[in-house]
Amino acid sequence: MLPPSLPTRGLPINTDPDEPVRLTDNDAATSRLSAATLEYLQDPFAALLYKSSPLAGPSRKPPLINIGTHHRTWALDRLVDNFFRCCGDEAAQVVSLGAGSDTRFWRLMNRDTPPNLAHYLELDFPSMTSLKAQRIARSPKLSSLLSPRPVSPQVDHQPLFFENTTNILPTTQILPSSQKQPYQVLHGGQGLTSLLYTLLPLDLRNQPLSSILSYLDQSRPTLFLAECVLCYMIPSEGNKVLEFFRENFSRCVGVIYEMCGLEDTFGKVMRRNLASRNLSLPGVYASPSTLAERLLIEGKFDRADGISLWQVRSIIPEEELKRISRLEQLDEVEELKLVLEHYCVVWGSKGLNMNLTLTN
């Protein structure tokens, strides 16, 4: 979720048209760190992949944003877990588009029972991947998880909210300086790769996705994640992304998180706030169902569905909702409903056994 536009007095003026989009990662990272600090969710890696910026706004977000971050994380974590469950004993791979400072790979591999992961690939603008590669290289806690760990053949859902996962597992040991690093640096420091994980600089709008195929096995079940990515691309550019996965992976799952429904009164206010930050949304859709239709039509998925974050709230266990309600006081439930109705999670799947749902 994006906070209101921030004052720019005293900050350098950047004429790069892509800079506003890149800065949205500051919003997401700060929101995640706020939610983790206040125990809405548990993420021991958020602070390792994010450094404060004058453009990021307050480090502590209001309850409405913390709740939205919790619901977003709960839904996406559940879909990713259900994807690995669909894969059974077979190792699967994940492609994260516009990954920014996302911590999902480390949260997955830090579990007592990590998923059966063949490879995890992250893509973003070169300036974003350069920063992330530096932070990984400088943090033994991050780099030590790039090597495979023994896994059990079946992964059960392990929500990362109120179980005992605050501390990083003992397996994340600091490597001696004499020990070879578990990764190779790529593209002059703009990326890196290991047996489990690859970080690559790539602009989805004008660089071919075919360059990532050398890091993947097209015969394996594959999940692609797009969190607030396609909405910033014109539809024809976004459709090429969907076509790439359609044409190259017979067993594929797509999970998308985006804003939606920006044609009503509240949505127009959101658009104006974004425009004040030089952000436009040429690829935004009217509703979760219309975005799901896009997966069916452009991605040729067998099945697709989607719900708003407000609808996600009705799926979250009552016990968990009560827990987070005790963390902070929320004064306006109607305002929460209004905001959450303008964000959605959409998923589609195709291929044998790739019948993904949010509820199982």
Paired with 226 in beta bridges are 97, 256
| Residue 97 is labelled as binding a ligand | no
Burial (CB count <10 Å: 0-12, 13-18, 19+), residue 250: middle
Query: Residue 98, by phi and psi: left (phi above 0), alpha (psi -120 to 50) or beta?
Result: left
Q: Are strands 117-124 and 197-201 parallel, antiparallel or unpaired?
A: parallel
Instruction: Say which residues have a Cβ less than 8 Å from residue 343's Cβ, sequence separation at least 6.
Output: 1, 68, 72, 257, 258, 259, 260, 308, 309
Residue with tokens 């797509």: 254
Residue with tokens 């125990």: 39
Closest to 183 (Cα-Cα) out of 128, 212, 140 = 140
Distance CA 57, CA 59 (A): 6
| Residue 335 is labelled as binding a ligand | no
Give the torsion sign (CA, 131, 23, 289, 301): negative
Starting at the edge strand that comes first in sequence, how are the strands of the sheet with 92-97 ordered?
A: 184-186, 191-193, 197-201, 117-124, 92-97, 222-227, 252-259, 343-350, 303-308
Q: How many CB atoms lie within 10 A of CB 40?
A: 27
Alpha helices, DSSP H, located in the chain: 19-37, 63-86, 104-109, 126-138, 140-143, 235-248, 265-275, 288-297, 309-313, 318-325, 333-340
The alpha carbon of 40 is separated from its chain's Cα centroid by a whole number of angstroms, namely 17
Q: Are 71 and 340 in contact (CB under 8 A)?
A: yes
| Token duo for residue 215 | 């890091």
| Residue 39 is labelled as binding a ligand | no
| Residue 191 is labelled as binding a ligand | no
| Residue 202 is labelled as binding a ligand | no
Residues tagged in the binding site annotation = 72, 98, 203-204, 227
Residues tagged in the binding site annotation for S-adenosyl-L-methionine = 72, 98, 203-204, 227
